[in-house]
Amino acid sequence: RLVQELVEEHGAQSLPDRKGLTPLLYAAQAGNVAMLSTLLDSSSGAHVNEESPSSGARALHLASQSGEYRAVRWLLSRAGIEPAARDHYGVNALHKAVAFGHVPVVQALLADQRMPVDAPVEEPSVPSSYEAISGRETALHLAAKHSYHFAHMAHTRLAELLLHAGADPNARCARGRTAAHHAAQAGNAGVIACLLGCAATDWSARDLDGRTPRELAREKGHSDVLELLVA
């Protein structure tokens, strides 16, 4: 109610603060659907696709990164939303949700037919001094490259969801690696098991250094992964 009064009586505008975040972006990050609705349906000047001038992050990016399922669902229902938009680092909402292990959010994003499941992380558009080198990873790569213990099973479930949604198990990142390469190097036995259940997975694929997933697992000493691959 206070937000609505500020907008209606004092003309509060959707302007970024020193961190580059607007009221709408803060609301999305916190999963505050009521405030999102108030801001977008008022005269504040807020727009569903407005972005942080510093990072390019939009409301859907921040809600996805924070695991705010209700806010993600609500934002996806808004007219004009661009689900596949990337921030200045080349990352979209699906990449963020997968990287942070938010299963319900990934399910919501994959249910939206506008979200391309195999879209890679693109080259960043930020100044070179802040640039993070793009590895052109897909969401499946991001799920696979987390270590098994860090993932706490979430990334195994995410790999299952992505494969079910049609993710290409043989898509290559900038280093020529497939999801199997990333999972083998990280020791992510759960994702390896998922990929073993996908008949299309090419286990003989070699990265730009000429190594197969099995060879990477051997180099890293991941015996549990090797046991799966020789079974």
Q: What is the CA radius of gyration of the chain?
A: 20
What CA–CA distance (Å, rounded) separates 89 from 21? 16
Residue 58 phi/psi, 5-degree rounding, is -110, 175
Query: Which of 150, 153, 140, 95 lies closest to 122, judged by CA?
Result: 95
What are the residue boundaries of the structural domains of the chain, listed by start? 1-134, 138-231
Name the pLDDT band for 10 (thresholds 50, 70, 90). Answer: very low
What is the arithmetic mean of pLDDT over 16-26?
90
CATH number of the domain located at residue range(s) 138-231 in this protein: 1.25.40.20
Query: CB 59: neighbour CB atoms within 10 A?
Result: 32
CATH number of the domain located at residue range(s) 1-134 in this protein: 1.25.40.20
Q: What is the pLDDT of residue 124?
A: 84
What is the arithmetic mean of pLDDT over 216-230?
96
CA 112 to centroid of chain Cα atoms: 14
